[in-house]
Structure 1
Amino acid sequence: MLGRLRALITPRTSLPFGPPVSHKDFSSTSGMKEIAIFASGCFWGTQHIFLKHFPPEPAPGKGIISTAVGYTGGKPNAANPDYKTVCSGTTDHAEAVRIEFDPAVVGYADLVEFFYRSHDPTTVNRQGGDAGTQYRSAIFTTTPKQVTIARRVTEDVQAKHFTPKGTKIVTEIHSAGPWWNAEDYHQLYLFKNPGGYQCPTHRLHW
Structure 2
Amino acid sequence: MTNSSRETVTLGGGCFWCLEAVFDQLKGVLDVVSGYAGGQVENPTYKQVCAGTTGHAEVVQVVFDPQQIGFRELLEVFFTVHDPTTLNRQGADVGTQYRSAIFYHSEEQRSTALKLIDELNAANAWTKPIVTEVTAISSFYPAENYHQEYFIHNAAQPYCQFVVAPKLSKFRSQYAARLKE
Q: Give TM-score, length-normalised by structure 2.
A: 0.85
1:106 aligned residue (66, 69, 73): 69
Segments of 4+ moved more than 6 angstroms: none
How many equivalent pairs are there?
A: 167
- From 137, 157, 161, give the equivalent of 1:176: 137
Which of 27, 48, 55 pairs up with 1:85?
Answer: 48
Work out the CA distance in 2 between the residues paired with 1:110 and 1:101: 11
2:22 corresponds to which residue? 49
Of 81, 84, 98, the match for 1:118: 81
Q: How big is the shift at 1:30?
A: 8.5
**Kindly tell me: are residues 202 and 171 of structure 1, through their superposed partners in 2, closer, same or farther at Cα, counting changes over 3 Å?**
farther
Structure 1 vs Structure 2 CA RMSD: 1.9
CA drift of 1:194 comes to 1.0
Are 1:44 and 1:189, in contact at CA under 8 Å, matched by a contact in 2? yes
Between the two proteins, what is the percent identity of the paired residues? 40
Taking structure 1 as reference, are residues 51 and 161 closer, same or farther at Cα in structure 2, changes over 3 Å only? Answer: farther
Query: Structure 1 31/83 Cα, relative in aligned 2: closer, same or farther at 3 Å?
Result: same
**Counterparts of residues 61-100 of structure 1 (less than 5 Å):** 62-75=27-40, 78-100=41-63
Query: How high is the TM-score relative to the length of structure 1?
Result: 0.76
Distance 2:167 2:120 in 1: 17
Query: Unaligned regions of 5+ residues in structure 2, if any?
Result: 175-181
Q: Against the structure 1 CA distance between its residues 90 and 30, is the aligned structure 2 distance closer, same or farther, given a 3 Å change threshold?
A: closer
Greater helix content: 2
Change (3 A) 1:100 1:47: same
| 1:157 positional shift | 1.9
Could you list the runs of 5+ residues in structure 1 that have no partner in the other structure?
Answer: 1-27, 55-61
- Could you tell me how far apart the structure 2 residues matched to 1:121 and 1:83 are? 23
